[in-house]
Structure formats: C-alpha cells, structure tokens
Structure 1
C-alpha cells in the first residue's frame, strides 16, 4: 500500500474527489481546514509558501515515509511541489510549477519556445494603463487585461478605448490599483478546454471540452462546457502536440494539465496552461470507460504506477452549466431546482454556495453558485436540455447595500 500525501485547502472544490480516489492508499492530509477530512493522518498547516513551513511539512512527511505529494487544486499545487522537492522526491518541480502559474513567466517561456499565444506586455500597475500605452505596447485594440496571480476568469476583462475606464475599475476591485497587470491582444475564435495527463514529458489528452457560450467578453465567465468536442481530430492532435511542447518548455515532466486555447481560423493559440486538473466540480463529468476518474490518473502517475488511459469515454455527450452570479450581493437561494431536476437528461444539480454567502458577479469572482450536469444522445439534445435548465433556474441574490 503506497503512502500518499494530499494538500487540501479548506473549502476546495476538488478535495472530496481526490480524497475518494486516494482511499486505497495510506493517506496523509495536509490542510488548513478545521473540520475532519478523513485519511490516516492529518497535518495542520497554514498552507503558506514560507520556507520554514515548507521545511516543517517536508520533515513531517519524510518521517511518515510519504512517497508522493499532490496538490488537489490551483491553490495547493505550488506548496505540494515545493515540499516534494525538499523531500527529494522531485528536483526542480517547484520552479517549473512557478513558471507555469505566474502569467508573466508563462508568457515569457512560451515566447522563448516560439509557441503561438497572444501578444502581451506587463503594465506596472492598473492605474498606469491607458490607451496610448496599450497601443504602443500591443497595437490597436481590443485588448484583454488580467491579474498576474489569479485563476479562472477572475479580474479578466476585454476592453477597448471606450471601455478602458470600466475595465480598470473592475481590475482595481480585484487586485487594487497598484498591482501589475498582464495586457494581451484579444484572440477571437472558438475556445476549448483540454484536460490532459503528462507522463515523463509525453502528453495524453483525456477530454476536450467545447465552450459554446464563452463569447468575446467583456467578461469571460465560463458558463458551459460540452464534451466531446466538435473540433476535428486533426486539430485535437495539433493541440496535443502544442501543449506537449509548452510543457517541455516549462520543464514540466509528470503532472495533470489544464489548458485553454482559442482557435482563430482553426489554428490553436494558448490562452492559459496550468499544471493541475480542471477547477470546480467539472472533473466529475469526465468518464473513463474502465470506471476510473481523472483523480485516479493523477495519483497513479504521482506514485509512478501509470496505467493506460482508455481511448473510449463512458456514455454519450455531456454538458456542464456553471451557475453564474447575476450581480453582487447576498445569495438567498435558487428557485426552480425541482423543475430543473425533472427535465429529461439532467443528471444532478450540485449547489456549492449556501444561503447568506456574499457573492460577486464576474469578473470579480472565481467561484460558482453551483453546477448542473446534463447528458443526452446527441450534442444538440444536451444543448437543448441546458437551455431548458437555464430557463427555469433562478438564483436569488439580494443586492449589495
């Protein structure tokens, strides 16, 4: 029985699924949560990246003969990698993760590798961004502005000369007016999300999701995921090769990969690439034909026990709707749940926000009110079911005072 450690932040979307997949192993959980999470041993931690905390955790896990350390989400992969390096289980993994998760370092690395991505420039602060600077740095708009250190679509806005003041206000609300910002050219075209597993530098795609309603801004709330993707297999192979080259440039070796790409004129351009699994509850829609889950693949490879990823996926087309927050305020509840749950094709509705929680509308949030999972015989049927669900589910949010 292998000895495994999971780094699980309190309130992580991904914690429970990784904990379930880790059940066959002797499990140590590193967490800042106060409530019990299971496992054979709990190590309380602030989960800070402070060197003294990293050293302490490494010593504790060495004493427990832990063979692999896994961060379950975007908030824990860096600490897990740093601890793994300190334990001698890996070498340089922490720096590779750091390159991939800091947007400016990611862009610099992809530039050196001459891989397709948006043109970009870092502004010293939100307040320093004006139209003249953007046009000098990137050429004519529209442009996309992003915080350097946030995930998902938090703080991400598309602006032009007429909406720049609004965009600066949105960014300042997320990171403050003095924080540096990544400015990019806007890349049009369809957008996809790719879930893949990198094993000793070789990339295997697990699932490709279409994002049929991502749109062109001004915010980029990821409302709907649909699989399997409708893009041609030849383009999917081009995407696979591109992500594998990007991972090599970042010096990533064995890790899950979540990547987002746009397809202007059908050619892939890297928008985001992260050494982690997909966020939220979306991984629950990934169905391998042999019954395994995405978390199983991650754990197997971390323990150097990789098994073949089956080409087939269980079931037909699937769709996920991530419930958006209509406006800032206090979440009071969700109307229409019973009606939506009775719609043919709706598998389940999972709420992740409780009544009384303060919520924010895009782009000031990276959280979702909940998730709706839908299946059907065809993509058209899945999209039709999602439309029906959207017509009956109504979140109640009391406006902020």
Structure 2
C-alpha cells in the first residue's frame, strides 16, 4: 500500500511522529512538500516542489504517481486540506472534494453551511473593520469571540469582554493576519474563501472534542474528550480529560449535531476533528476539521476509546471503510495538556528522568528546539510541547500531570 502525504509549507518536523505511525501500519509512505527543506524525508520517498502553487504541486504529484501508483493522498496539516483534495481529484484518487475541503477550512463558509442546515452555532458576523467588530459586539453582547476565518491552533483567537478590548485585539488580529503561518502556508492559486476576521457570540458551557469519522450516511464519534481548561482571554491553554463526563443523553445530542454539521460541510467520507460547546444546556457546533486532531488526541483516542484516528486516515485515504464503532470508553482515565512557557528564544529545555521515564506518562512531545521563537498572546500562541498522564481518576491523572509539568525547565536566551 502506497500513500502520498502532503504539506504545502513544511511545518518544521511537527508531523514526523504521525508519519512514523502511518509507516508502522505497514504503509509505504511518500512525502511531498510544496515549500520546505531538502533533507526532510528519505530522498527516494520525498519530493520538494519548491513552490506551493497548486498547479505545480499537482504536476509534481501526477509525474510521481505515474511511476509509483499511489493508493491515496492524505494530510495531517490544516493548511493542506484544500490542496490535498485538489491533488487527489487530479490523480483520480479518493477525495473529500475541493468544495467540502474549503467549507471545512474557512470558518465563515463553515458557519454559513451550518446556518443553512439549521445546525446550532454561535451568532457570527464577518467583520472588515473595527466599526463592524464593535457593532457585532454590541449586537451579540459581551463577551464575544474574535477569530480568523483561516485560523488553526487558536492563533489570534481572543475572548473580548468590552469595546476597549475589541479595539486592542482587533488591531492585533488584523496585523497578525498579514504573516500568520496558517494563511501563508495555504497553497497558492486556490480559492480559500474570504480571508479576515469573525466576531461570534460567546458560548458559556463546557467544551468537548471528538475524533470522528464520516462514512456515507453515518457519522461515528470514535473518541470524546472533555476540555477542562481554566479559560482566560486566549484559547490555547488546552487541558483535556477522558473518558468524557457526558451523559448518554447528552452524548446522543452531541452526535446528532456533529452528524448534521459534517453533512452540511459536504463531508461524506472523511476522518474529522469536531469541537462542540454547550450553551443554555444545548450543544452547539464550533467547528469540524477534515483531519485528525493535533497534539496527543490520537493517543488519547486509542487509550480511552479503542479508536485509532491515524489508521482511519490511512483507510479513508485509500477508499476503505475504517474499523470504527460508536463511542464506547475503555475506562482508562487520562489528562493531557499543552506545555506553555514565557515568550522568547529557546536556549534549552530540560526534561528530567522522573518525567521522561514515568510509566504513567503516555504522551511527552517536546516540539520546540533551541533557537526556536516562542510567541505568547497577543503576539502568538506558540507552545513548546505536550504532556499526558494516566490515573485511576481524573484528579489522580491531573495532579500527576501538573506536578511533572512543573519539573520541565525551559531556559530562554537573554534579551
């Protein structure tokens, strides 16, 4: 089985661990980057196009496909979802289609699709200047959420509590759009939909994350995770717990809205990452990405729900129905978090043996390296890694996780 995976613009080596998981499933994996470095992957399985122009990427993929005969095209990168759909279409391989990919990438088009289908969502408005943003804030009532239409990883996403904060955050977000990686990394020459900012009404309930699968008329929630973050004014300080605390009744209601939203986006055969938040006791859709979730959500799914999102990506990519069931927890408790430090240039990150060798640590991924720049709000949302622990209960796992996280020392360069 041969699969081609694509990054339009190389994102350091962030996805290497995912690529390794794909290879461990017996896949002969080939990598094509639009823009990136020459030594990213073994030379006989790697192509660097040198440009992220979609026509050039399609031409390179076609030439390679003529000799290798790929069984499918996949990606783990949010910024490559549309490009992969276009490449797969051009190669005559299984694809979610460019329209569904665009709906799944652009938050405005996504919201509009949900609205047409009657899916419960926050009130929203596409804003082009501060006056529009202030008018939306006054109409919806503060707090509101300000976010980019082509965002990812909570970059430039803010809770706004009043007009003064709106003026400050709107200026920061507008400036940030000009060099935001997740926009700059999109393929050139494709219709991305409107690029700008959304103001949304604030949903005041609990948030849940799902690794899900759309297959023809059915949607499966493979795993369900509670977001237990103590929220501030940005949304990147993610702390998760599984198994979910949702009741069977609430889980059924969540499944109903996720299924409706996936079909509204045009997703009929796709691995998905869905986010739902309750408001006034009812589940509302935040978004569905046509890819698996980041961080350690794939590991969490396997441990706590016996569902493998990476295997699902491989199967969907080659047009085979994945092995999946409706959510059924294994009973294993975990908590997991993004590792965050102050902003600056990384000098060194020290992980002591009691962290790296703990048999209760199922997730330890340090993504920053010496010389990397850590940006914190309002300048960015860079994290330096992920940590997850198991336990006999949520509190047991959480207490160990926070203790071990405190032992990881990040040293920054002197200014």
* TM-score (norm: length of structure 2): 0.85
Q: Which moved more, 1:231-240 or 1:331-340?
A: 331-340
Cα displacement string for residues 61-101 of structure 1 (whole angstroms, at most 9, x for unaligned residues): 24432221111221222211110111222466112101110
Q: For residues 129 and 64 of structure 1, what CA distance do their matches in structure 2 show? A: 51
Distance 1:59 1:312, change over 3 A: same
Deviates more, 1:161-170 or 1:115-124: 161-170
Query: What corresponds to 1:37 in structure 2?
Result: 41
What SS is found at the alignment partner of 1:60?
helix
CA gap of 1:197–1:182, structure 2 versus 1, over 3 A, is same
What displacement does 1:304 show? 2.7
Give 3-state SS (helix, strand or coil) of 2:164's partner.
Answer: coil
Alpha-carbon shift at residue 46 of structure 1 (Å): 4.1
Decide whether aligned partners of structure 1 residues 77 and 91 sit closer, same or farther in structure 2, where only a CA change above 3 A counts: closer
1:17 aligns with 2:18: yes
Q: Secondary structure at the match of 1:162?
A: helix
Could you list the per-position Cα deviations for residues 333-374 of structure 1 after superposition, in whole angstroms to 9, with x for gaps in the alignment? 345634545777334532110122111013543542011120
Q: CA deviation at 1:225?
A: 1.4
C-alpha contact 1:14 1:279 (8 A) present in aligned 2: no
Tell which deviates more after alignment, 3-12 or 296-305: 3-12
Q: What's 1:228 paired with?
A: 243
Distance in structure 1 (CA, Å) of the matches to 2:253 and 2:413: 46
State the alpha-carbon separation in 1 of the partners of residues 92 and 351 from structure 2: 52
Taking the aligned partners of 1:47 and 1:10, their CA distance within structure 2 comes to 15
What are the residue-to-residue correspondences of 1:35-184 with 2, within 5 Å? Answer: 35-38=39-42, 41-46=45-50, 48-90=52-94, 93-125=97-129, 127-129=130-132, 131-132=134-135, 134-135=137-138, 138-159=139-160, 160-176=162-178, 180-184=196-200
Contact conserved, 1:26 with 1:40, CA < 8 A, in 2?
Answer: no
CA distance in 1, matches of 2:212, 2:96: 21
Q: Distance between the aligned counterparts of 1:108 and 1:49, measured in 2? A: 28
Given that 1:325 and 1:369 are in contact with CA atoms closer than 8 Å, whether structure 2 keeps it comes out as yes
Give the direction of change, closer, same or farther, for the CA distance of 1:97–1:366 in structure 2 (3 Å limit). farther
Instruction: Name the CA distance, whole Å, in 2 between partners of 1:47 and 1:262.
Output: 38
Residues in 2 aligned to 1:347 and 1:147: alpha-carbon distance in whole angstroms: 33
Asked whether the 8 Å contact 2:5–2:32 carries over to 1, the reply is yes
| Contact 2:211–2:301 (8 Å) recurs in 1 | no
Q: Shift of residue 281 of structure 1?
A: 3.8
- The two structures, once aligned, show a CA RMSD in angstroms of 2.8
1:190–1:292 Cα change, 3 Å: closer
Q: 1:246 to 1:59 in 2, by over 3 A?
A: farther
For residues 2-401 of structure 1, the aligned pairs below 5 Å read 2-8=1-7, 9-23=10-24, 24-31=26-33, 32-38=36-42, 41-46=45-50, 48-90=52-94, 93-125=97-129, 127-129=130-132, 131-132=134-135, 134-135=137-138, 138-159=139-160, 160-176=162-178, 180-215=196-231, 217-287=232-302, 293-309=308-324, 316-326=332-342, 328-334=343-349, 337-341=352-356, 345-398=360-413, 401=415
Cα deviation 1:83-123 (Å, max 9, x = unaligned): 01112224661121011101111111111111111111111
Residue by residue over 1:206-248, the C-alpha shift from the partner in whole angstroms, topping out at 9 and shown as x without a partner, is 1111111152x31111421111111112212221221111111
Per-residue CA deviation, residues 6-26 of structure 1 (Å, 9 max, x unaligned), is 114342533332343245233
Against the structure 1 CA distance between its residues 96 and 11, is the aligned structure 2 distance closer, same or farther, given a 3 Å change threshold?
same
> Cα distance 1:110–1:307, how it changes in 2: closer, same or farther (>3 A)?
closer
Structure with greater helix share of residues: 2
By how many angstroms is 1:390 displaced?
Answer: 4.1
Aligned residues: 393
Which sections of structure 2, spanning at least 5 residues, go unmatched? 180-194
* Moved >6 Å (runs of 4+): 289-292
